[in-house]
Amino acid sequence: MDEEITIINTNTRNEKIKKFFLDNKKNLIIISSIIVIVTIGYFSFNEIKKINKAKLADQFNSTVFSFKEEKKEATVSELKSIIKKKDTTYSPLALYFLIDNNLIDNNEDINNLFDVLIDDTSLKKEVKNLIIYKKALFNSNTIEENELIKLLNPIINSDSIWKSHSLYLIAEFFYSKNEKQKSKEFFNQILELPNTNIDIKIKSQKRLNKDLRE
């Protein structure tokens, strides 16, 4: 008797499952198709990203290795193009190459390229902080103190590994302006940081002991 009941229950359950699939056949086909399409799209997108990354790497390497002074305009054009691709690796490298080799004379153009990286490129937090610091360093001889501090505020008000570098830049900025008290305040902040870069800490201590002694 129990065996018969079990068989009946099994048959009933199988019939219900069969009926469910028949009643929802259209919806199940649609869902399955969507899953397949999304899966294919995901892997295709990643493959396209890899291909584009490889092409960008080739473009950057070719541009850098073939650089000659007589090809300056072409090099600048290629590197600007790479920066505007907003790639997390090669866009920053392209900007650094432009700056290190003094290929652009117009500071506004350089700052606009910095902003492409800072505002529009999906960089990791500390990479973005490094670029903000580099922008501040690049402009430190031509901007006023409020502009410099405003630019570095995102780093100063965080626990970034570039915080001590930023404080040092501001401290040296005030020292160059002969505003020694302000300079001293920022050097002291560096010494109080728990994660201060050791080289920055030594330089700050030397400056305080040698040039800012009361």
Mean pLDDT of 193-209: 91
The per-residue pLDDT for range 147-165, each reduced to its tens digit, is: 999 999 999 999 999 999 9
Looking at the domain assignment, is residue 155 inside a domain?
Answer: yes
Looking at the domain assignment, is residue 152 inside a domain?
Answer: yes
What was the pLDDT predicted at 45?
47
Mean pLDDT of 199-207: 93
What was the pLDDT predicted at 92?
96
Structural domain of 187: 137-214
Looking at the domain assignment, is residue 76 inside a domain?
Answer: no
Looking at the domain assignment, is residue 56 inside a domain?
Answer: no
Q: Residue 103 — pLDDT band, cuts 50, 70, 90?
A: very high
182: burial class by Cβ within 10 Å (0-12, 13-18, 19+)?
middle
Looking at the domain assignment, is residue 64 inside a domain?
Answer: no
The per-residue pLDDT for range 116-146, each reduced to its tens digit, is: 999 999 999 999 999 999 999 999 999 999 9
Looking at the domain assignment, is residue 92 inside a domain?
Answer: no
The count of structural domains within the chain is 1
Give the CA radius of gyration of the chain: 30
pLDDT at residue 206 is higher than 70: yes
Looking at the domain assignment, is residue 61 inside a domain?
Answer: no
The per-residue pLDDT for range 4-48, each reduced to its tens digit, is: 455 545 556 666 666 655 666 566 466 656 665 655 554 454 556
CA–CA separation, 132 vs 126, rounded Å? 10
Q: What is the dihedral of CA 21, 27, 30, 32, to 10 degrees?
A: -40
Mean pLDDT of 199-212: 90
More confident site: 115 or 42: 115
Mean pLDDT of 175-196: 92
Using alpha carbons, list the distances in angstroms from residue 75 to 37, 57, 70, 123, 135: 41, 15, 10, 24, 21
Do the beta carbons of residue 189 and residue 208 sit within 8 Å? no
Do the beta carbons of residue 164 and residue 196 sit within 8 Å? yes
Looking at the domain assignment, is residue 125 inside a domain?
Answer: no
What was the pLDDT predicted at 67?
86
Mean pLDDT of 85-101: 95
